[in-house]
Homo-oligomer: A and B are copies of this chain.
């Protein structure tokens, strides 16, 4: 059974953005998301999660290539200038791909 190709978007960003980001993802129509707590370093310096203002999250979204493009563009326009954020995507084989056609 060859599964339909689907996209996985991964976002590393500030924990302070979580509730706003979740609202955005829902509004843009993504089929779901998964979030874990993280820490890290990037261009905007060390974010060691020693306290909330300094913690990161790691957001994953499984969706169609079109939705992936929409989300990426929205994030870039809305958050990239002012927030610590990194976004990337790759292709995945998913079970029950019909869940993720949006």
Contacts and interface: CB of A to CB of B under 8 A. Distances in A.
A12 to B, nearest CB: 5
A32 interface: yes
A56 B34 contact: yes
Interface residues of A, number: 38
B43 A34 contact: no
Given A32-B40, A34-B12, A35-B39, A94 B99 contact: no
Given A26-B41, A32-B40, A37-B37, 18 more contacts: A10-B92, A31-B42, A32-B42, A32-B86, A33-B41, A35-B38, A42-B99, A62-B88, A72-B95, A76-B95, A86-B94, A88-B93, A88-B94, A89-B92, A89-B93, A89-B94, A90-B90, A90-B92
